[in-house]
Structure 1
Amino acid sequence: MSEKKDPSLWHGFKAFLMRGNVVDLAVAVVVGAAFSNIVNSVVKGLINPVVGAIGTKNLDHYSSCLSAPCKGDQGIQIFWGSVLGATLQFLITAAVVYFLMVLPMARFLARQEARRKAREGTNEVAQVTELEVLEQIRDELVAQRSGERSGR
């Protein structure tokens, strides 16, 4: 016997894929990959030559030896230059993402929140003012009625 697949499973998966979060995530991955190429080019084209003015142009050539004979496969070498290059790439990427994406979005959301609060504050002030006016009208009507009764 062949089992019939549950249609709700397929519809659930389709709804998951069509959510804005998944599409946004896919776009972010594609843009991030393209952006990493730009950062790599900046590091290789600008940062490495500046560092190369001090020593070698390729950061991968910076290393230290832990044991005495460091020729070929002998000895233990630590390639700290490649770690430095990866760290620089990360810092540049993080700085650009923060200053060009996160910070402007945070400012935008803060402005939106301030506008929303201002609108709510305006409505509350108007309601309080209306309430106060109605209370004053009520008090005057009560005073008039009590004045009419005492005048008779």
Structure 2
Amino acid sequence: MFKEFKAFIMRGNVMDLAIAVIIGAAFGKIVTSLTDDIIMPLIGKVFGGLDFSSYFLVLNADKVPPALAGSTDYAALKKAGVPLLGYGEFITQAVNFFIIAFIIFLMIRAVNRVMPKPEEAAAADPADVVLLREIRDELRAKRG
């Protein structure tokens, strides 16, 4: 069983996928930092606040502990179990998604420009396929 597992792991596709996951995780951290540390503070400044993640609504004020009454600390209120509608955090995550989606779009676009088009790949048929086509065409010409 160990030999089968080792053969499975050593296949090229599995190793490529593992590398892609590791690079993707690191890339996700970079995008999160870009969003949290650069983009969202700028958007927050435009909307009148410095910390965009502090935009939320308390859904049940009765659940707020007395020590956190009037608090604007989203993380502390969430940790205390207060029901919140954290639209600022949602907007932050949506911006993260759009940044990642746009960068992936640019990468796929670049790869598509470099990769040969299907017509170009079809033009380079092996010699035996070309010979078989010629034989087929000769046979059709003799019949008709």
Does the alignment reach a TM-score above 0.5?
A: yes
- Alpha-carbon shift at residue 51 of structure 1 (Å): 1.2
2:120 to 115, 135, 143: 115
Larger radius of gyration: 1
Q: Give the Cα separation in 1 of the matches to 2:38 and 2:32.
A: 10
Q: Give the Cα separation in 2 of the matches to 1:23 and 1:30.
A: 11
Q: Secondary structure at the match of 1:12?
A: helix
Paired position in structure 1 for 2:95: 88
- Alpha-carbon shift at residue 68 of structure 1 (Å): 5.6
Moved more, 33-42 or 70-79: 70-79
- Alpha-carbon shift at residue 99 of structure 1 (Å): 1.6
Count residues with an aligned counterpart: 122
1:52 to 44, 48, 51: 44
Amino acid at match of 1:38: I
TM-score, reference length from structure 1: 0.63
Q: Is the 8 A contact 2:58 2:84 kept in 1?
A: yes
- For the aligned residue pairs, the C-alpha RMSD in angstroms reads 3.2
Query: Quick check: 1:127 aligned with 2:134?
Result: yes
Q: Secondary structure at the match of 1:35?
A: helix
1:27 to 19, 22, 27: 19
| % identical aligned pairs | 28
Q: Secondary structure at the match of 2:22?
A: helix
Query: Quick check: 1:61 aligned with 2:67?
Result: no
TM-score, reference length from structure 2: 0.66
**Structure 2: 5+ residue stretches without partners:** 72-76
Higher relative CO (Cα under 8 Å, sequence separation at least 6) belongs to 2
User: Counterparts in 2 of 1:7-46, with a 5 A limit?
Assistant: 9-46=1-38
Amino acid at match of 1:56: G
